[in-house]
Chains A and B, each alone.
Chain A
Amino acid sequence: MNFNLTLIGQMISFGVFVWFTMTYVWSPIMQALQDRKAKIAEGLAAAERGHQEKALGEQRALQLLKDAKSQAAEILSQAQKRAGEIVEEAKVNARDEGARLVVSAQAEIEHETNRAREELRGKVATLAVAAAEKILKKEIDARAHQSIVDDFVRQI
């Protein structure tokens, strides 16, 4: 309980500890605290921005969805129109084809008719000659009377 050299010693110790704290302890820790404060503020701002961006994104997504729906509807209506057109075209084609087939069949029929007529004409000529031969039974020069026969044949 006496005042002695300890007083001086403790003054020095105290001074050294204060100097040490001031130089090596205080500022790094305060720096870390301030840095963290800034970081937290930054993080909060970023979160705020994120929220805004999310809202914007949602809006954009909705817009995109709406556009896509209207596009799809448009494509659908176009497709329906096109389908109608194709059906119409097919009908027209079928009608044309039918008409063409009818025409060609008629031509064929005519052709056959003509051919049959020719054939019949030839046969009639022969028959006429044979009949004439039988009727006349005299010498008839086929060569001399050919023109008469031909004339007959033509009249058939």
Chain B
Amino acid sequence: MSTAETLTTQGYIQHHLTQLTLGVSPEHGFGFAHSSQDAAAMGFWALNVDTMFFSILLGWLAFSFFRKVAERATAGIPDGGQNFAEWVVDFIDENVRGSFSGKNPLVAPLALTIFVWVLLMNMMDLLPVDLLPWLWGQFWSLFGANPHHVFLRVVPTADPNTTFAMALMVFFTVLYYSIKMKGVGGFLGELTLQPFGVWGMPANLILEGISLLSKPVSLALRLFGNMYAGEMIFILIALMYGGGTALAVTAGGLQFVWAVFHILIITLQAFIFMVLTVVYLDMAHQTHH
């Protein structure tokens, strides 16, 4: 924390939790937000450039690797890259086969995309929490900017925009297949006719509606909450480095321990997101409860 002397603890945390937001600010006009208040004031028509950049970069890296493997995939002896890709694909395929009973060519690639992409985005959390934001601030200070007003958040899944975007896409897919498989009537019937039968229609609708809507919300919030909390703990640990030798040594140990534990969390969250997506899609394909 090279800038600890000039920052309050609150300011440091605030700085870390502010996105690099591009939009039209009522105060400064079009440009990057100068503070978190500024970012909030930009409203809906603003873009979190850091989130978009890192998520697309990671996705591009991962899927261009998979594409390269797929292009020269042979049934003969696989090389290292193909071996790895096959291992991942096989793992996803087994999981999808285990929890998805229907036949749909979309589900397995969807699961692969979710798992790989979310895992990589989560992994950004394992980078030292100050590393990229500090470099980014130093870079802009070369152009005369104040590094305290240059923001960067490197974990796209700690941005609710990402998790809700994925959860909504999954939700729309679930709705699409529910209606496609059961018909509009079947789907509405599922929503309104159980568990209490025709005469309990309002109660049914409330129960089933909540259960339906809770799926994307829980999906998005679970991932977001885990990653946000993980990042927050890294930030709090990083704060300890400024508190003298004893605290700094403790912080080093804590950071290591939390990072190791976090490896488990990021993998688990990516896996849960994938499995729940597959399960929801499976439920959408079932024609009766």
Contacts and interface: CB of A to CB of B under 8 A. Distances in A.
Nearest to B228: A1
- Say what secondary structure dominates the interface of chain B: helix
Contacts of A32: 73-75, 78, 82, 86
Contacts of A10: 51-52, 55, 156, 161-162, 165-166
A22 B19 contact: no
B106 interface: yes
A21 B111 CA distance: 10
Interface string A13-33: 111011011101110111111
Contacts of A22: 105-106, 109-110
A128 to B, nearest CB: 128
Interface residues of B, number: 54
Nearest to B116: A21
B160 interface: yes
B70 interface: yes
A7 interface: yes
Contact of A7 (B19, B106, B117, B165): B165
Interface residues of A, number: 32
Contacts of B63: 17, 20-21, 25
B165 A11 contact: yes
A11 B109 contact: no
A38 B71 CA distance: 20
B67 A14 contact: no
B13 interface: no
Nearest to A7: B161
Given A5-B45, A6-B52, 18 more contacts: A1-B159, A2-B40, A2-B43, A4-B45, A4-B46, A6-B47, A6-B48, A8-B165, A13-B165, A14-B166, A17-B113, A22-B106, A24-B70, A25-B109, A26-B112, A29-B86, A32-B86, A35-B75
27 contacts: A2-B19, A2-B40, A4-B44, A5-B47, A6-B46, A6-B47, A6-B51, A6-B159, A11-B166, A11-B168, A13-B55, A18-B169, A20-B67, A21-B66, A21-B112, A22-B105, A22-B106, A22-B109, A22-B110, A24-B67, A25-B112, A26-B70, A28-B70, A29-B86, A30-B93, A33-B89, A33-B90
